Structure 1
């Protein structure tokens, strides 16, 4: 996350709460931010003279829509809470209903797998090296497959004015690298899940990883804290990290990406840091975020109470403090309410 005096500058640049934002496939009630931090220590790159398509750089869109919007937790997995009075049913019918409900909940896609984060993993580079683990498609900005990338090869992407030279051929301003669903790609010496967008402007390249919230958190949580920590501390870290990411999902740094991959935002390292215990914490809290009056809180956090006091005027979670509370028997929701007073745990669910 953010450490040191540099972060104090961030805290001073506060933003107002966000109102209700509607997204074609999802709806969240009142998206509110606590002191949204917007300025980077070095200004975020702006892609000059970019066409309108930069906001959605390719016709390749996010995963298929659910048929109904998302709402905070009045519903669980699309199963509406039962009314106060229900028709009488036999024990056998009740058991059958419970089995059907369990099967429905088990079969639904996790909301963390539906939301895609757009993470900047390379900024203003003259060239980058790309590799893939299995046959992957290279697509141009119109979504047309123009080449198959094969494992074992290293492909050089270079900036050439407003165009990308990929493996020596001019390919236009935007390129997608799209591995199969179970594949990964490499950029430099790091390996990532999801898809890669390359964008070029003024002789520089930007690389953006389109990755599910689940796989984003699978990297962020163990990059921020040790997977060996108490499970309740891991759950608290997970919910805080998801809530922080969601604020940038709805209020991104710019039209090209939601947020960066370094400690100024949250540390995102690709697949190298993934661990079983943090996956368990992520699965156990799927869709949960820090909520204030139904909205999403930008849940700031840092390593210690001293850094939280220095960087955020005491308004944030101490990771070491959260660990101490977990070891004293605090569940993760109490840990979070201790550091974010007046908040509760909200949950995004997928309706059917």
Structure 2
């Protein structure tokens, strides 16, 4: 479902893979929800088994990942349900209408547990308790509060003065200052000309961003990650920035968006934002056009010390490699060099702090 309109039907095929077909009305009035893998036509589409266990990337995007999946598993275990044994359709029914973005699923079997947490410090402690294995009694509440968001770190959805926020908390292995570090990265990214959502620190320690999958009047916006569009998994990560730049050009048909993506690539490398995998780049469908979402999940936290997305399939690219990546999508040598000269010192200064 999209804004109460039926998009299509999902079923399970004989190969334990999802089958999808747009409904007739959507074919005449709607849009392709995933242009590369689900073009707007009446065919019956079958998902590959890998990398999403038989699901299409655009639908897998809606399911919880990392922390959200962990607390959901803990909650279902109490009912004797093994989450990993569920089919993609059963998992999507748990998401129902509670996922990020605009897509909703019927039947809607989302978990509804009222939150008992009234302050952020208590949420942080409850998350640390469940992640450390101390207890799982608050698993359901923590899952519902997370809103099916992805990522390793605990998160909650929060409304404040009419605005909708995603607030992040420390994982057990994160430094105490992790929220302030991400805040500094967003400040630097903004200075580097990167479009970021509105952000702030809650309680001077918890980093929050305003949701960009909701319009100012609260209408849900269709959102797909690069992972979802390409059917590209992140474990292990294997995307290259040349692919990401080409995807950006193809889906947005806008050279300004391509230049913005190039700018993000340069910033990620010079600021050592290692967690630049395919789920950390998203696209929004707004007013009949695709565009880049604001940048998100930019920080310095990878224990591997290596980027998830390569440049020319090199782990340690040079400026020449950045320019070659830009040239592959018709960016001029001068434009690439100018962006590098602008962004490089900002990233280097950030690391020196």
Tell me the TM-score normalised to structure 1 length: 0.26
Higher percent of residues as helix: 2
Greater Rg by CA = 1
Q: Per chain length, whose mean CA-contact separation is higher, i.e. which structure has more relative contact order (CA < 8 Å, sep 6+)?
A: 1
TM-score by length of 2: 0.26
